[in-house]
Amino acid sequence: PDGTDVTSRYLDRGHLRVQVRPTLVRLPGDSLDVILQVEEGPVYRLGAVEVAGNRTVREHVIRRELATVPGDTLSRRAIQASVLGLMRLGYFRPEALAAGPELAVDEAHQTVNLRYRVEEDPRNPLRLGGSYNGDLILQAGLELDNFSLRDLFHPSTWRPLPVGDGQRLALGVQATGLDYQQVELSFTEPWLGGRPHPFGVTFSYARIADGFRSNTGGEGDLRTWGLRLWHDRRLRPGLTLSLGLRYRAFDNRDWTTTLPGGHSQELVLGPALRWDTTDDPVLPHRGSRVRFGVELALPLDEVQYHKWRFQAGRQVSLGRHVGLNVMAEMGFTGSLTGEPVDDRLFLAGGSPFDAGGFDTFFGEDLVYMRGYPVRALGPRDAGGLPVGGQLMNRYAAEVQWYALERPSFALRPYLFLEAANVWAGFSSYRPGDLFRSVGVGLRMKVPVLGVVDLSLGYNLDEFPGLEEETGASGWRLQISLGRTFSF
Domain boundaries, the chain: 1-121, 271-481
pLDDT for res 297: 92
Distance CA 242, CA 188 (A): 14
Of the candidates 458, 450, 454, the residue with the CA atom closest to the CA atom of residue 479:
454
Q: Check residues 214 and 85 and name the one with the higher pLDDT.
A: 85
Q: Check residues 438 and 142 and name the one with the higher pLDDT.
A: 438
pLDDT for res 409: 86
122 pLDDT more than 70: yes
pLDDT for res 238: 87
Same fold, 1-121 and 271-481: no
Stated pTM of the model = 0.76
Q: Say if residue 338 is exposed, middle or buried (CB neighbours under 10 Å; 0-12, 13-18, 19+).
A: exposed
**Pair type for strands 303-317 and 322-334:** antiparallel
β-bridge mates for residue 308, sequence order: 294, 332
Structurally, what CATH architecture does the domain formed by 1-121 represent?
Answer: Roll (3.10)
358 pLDDT more than 60: no
Q: Check residues 382 and 111 and name the one with the higher pLDDT.
A: 111
Residues 2-18 have a mean pLDDT of: 83
Question: Is the dihedral angle over the CA atoms 54, 56, 60, 62 positive or is it negative?
Answer: negative
Residue 360: pLDDT band by 50, 70, 90 thresholds? low
Residues 255-277 have a mean pLDDT of: 87
209 pLDDT more than 80: yes
pLDDT for res 119: 92
pLDDT for res 82: 93
Neighbours of 276 (CB within 10 A): 17
Residues 31-35 have a mean pLDDT of: 87
73 pLDDT more than 90: yes
pLDDT for res 455: 93
Residues 306-328 have a mean pLDDT of: 95
Question: Is the dihedral angle over the CA atoms 216, 466, 213, 486 positive or is it negative?
Answer: positive
Please provide the DSSP assignment of 214-242 as one string.
-SSSS--EEEEEEEEEEEEEEEETTEEEE
pLDDT for res 261: 81
- 366 to 263, 363, 392, 441: CA distances (angstroms): 24, 10, 10, 21
Amino acid at 78: A
Q: Check residues 312 and 340 and name the one with the higher pLDDT.
A: 312
β-bridge mates for residue 466, sequence order: 469
Question: Is the dihedral angle over the CA atoms 209, 213, 217, 223 positive or is it negative?
Answer: negative
Distance CA 201, CA 6 (A): 47
Q: Check residues 256 and 145 and name the one with the higher pLDDT.
A: 145
Distance CA 110, CA 105 (A): 7
Task: Tell me the pLDDT of the chain averaged across its residues.
Answer: 88
Distance CA 280, CA 263 (A): 43
Range in 29-38, 123-132, 191-200, 293-302 with the lowest mean pLDDT: 123-132
Q: What is the pLDDT of residues 223-264, one digit of tens each?
A: 999 999 999 998 988 899 999 999 999 888 888 776 778 888
Residues 42-71 have a mean pLDDT of: 93
Fold category of 271-481 in CATH: Porin (2.40.160)
pLDDT for res 180: 85
Of the candidates 437, 435, 472, 478, the residue with the CA atom closest to the CA atom of residue 456:
478
Asked whether the beta carbons of 259 and 305 are under 8 A apart, the reply is no
Q: What is the pLDDT of residues 409-459, one digit of tens each?
A: 899 999 999 999 999 999 999 999 999 999 999 999 887 677 888 999 999
